[in-house]
Amino acid sequence: MVRYVLFDFDGTLVDSLNIVIEVYNQLASKYEAKKIEQKDIAHIKRLSITERSKFLDFKLYKFPLLALDIYKLYKYSIKDLILFDGIKELLEELNACGFQLAIVSTNSEQNIRECLKHNQIDFINEIICSNNMFGKNEDIKRFLKTHKLKDSEAIYVGDEVRDIIAGKKSGVKVIWVSWGYDQIDNAKNEHPNYIVHKPHEILSISQSI
């Protein structure tokens, strides 16, 4: 039985794509990378992270530094950040049903807490953050160990291929959401346990496992 529902943040709970692109474009020259043009977004979403880096002439090893810079500037747009339709209701229903909720993200804890406060969500106490874009599986493993949870007692919800990979490596089942950053064909190639198109489906799955 699932006790904890763990969520990714950007692209899963909040519609932050335009903010991230805007901030990235402000930093592109610093990292000697190409800016993202509106006409390229659909194409970029179909690419893997490695392919995106090549397309943008960005050195992947610089990502930790870029992420820190992005989230420093990101905080100035928190007021413009919105939850995807149905997400607040989903979180409230999960909480009312007795599920414990946590967020595992590469965004900063300050940004996430500010967004939750702005949206009057005060029942998510645990936020696990790391600037290692490929290290979420270690974060999830530590979370399970800290809370003495079996793999079957937690499920991870994310929108990117790397979320699927992280969940599988950590041993928990993964729900992939179709409204985020990555395209469904890429996600299917990694075989998530569940694919959902509406937030309320996450509640049904969590209750049925």
Taking only the tens place, the pLDDT of each residue in 75-131 is 999 988 999 999 999 999 999 999 999 999 999 999 999 999 999 999 998 999 987
Q: Where are the beta strands (DSSP E) in the chain?
A: 4-7, 14-15, 82-83, 100-105, 126-129, 154-158, 173-177, 194-196
- pLDDT tier at 144, thresholds 50, 70, 90: very high
| Spatial separation of the C-alpha atoms in residues 3 and 102, rounded to whole Å | 11
Residue 64 in this model has a pLDDT that exceeds 90: no
- pLDDT tier at 135, thresholds 50, 70, 90: confident
| Spatial separation of the C-alpha atoms in residues 207 and 170, rounded to whole Å | 21
For residue 193, what pLDDT is reported?
Answer: 98
For residue 60, what pLDDT is reported?
Answer: 86
Given a contact cutoff of 8 angstroms between Cβ atoms, the answer to whether 206 and 2 are in contact is: yes
For residue 53, what pLDDT is reported?
Answer: 93
| Spatial separation of the C-alpha atoms in residues 153 and 126, rounded to whole Å | 16
Q: How many angstroms from the chain centroid is the CA of residue 62?
A: 20
Q: Read off the pLDDT of residues 2-54 as tens digits, 9 standing for 90 and up.
A: 999 999 999 999 999 999 999 999 999 999 999 999 999 999 998 988 899 99
- pLDDT tier at 145, thresholds 50, 70, 90: very high
Residue 132 in this model has a pLDDT that exceeds 90: no
Global pTM reads 0.93
- pLDDT tier at 205, thresholds 50, 70, 90: very high
Count the alpha carbons within 13 Å of 209 in the hemisphere toward its beta carbon.
23
For residue 128, what pLDDT is reported?
Answer: 95
Q: Is 125 exposed, middle or buried (0-12, 13-18, 19+ CB in 10 A)?
A: exposed
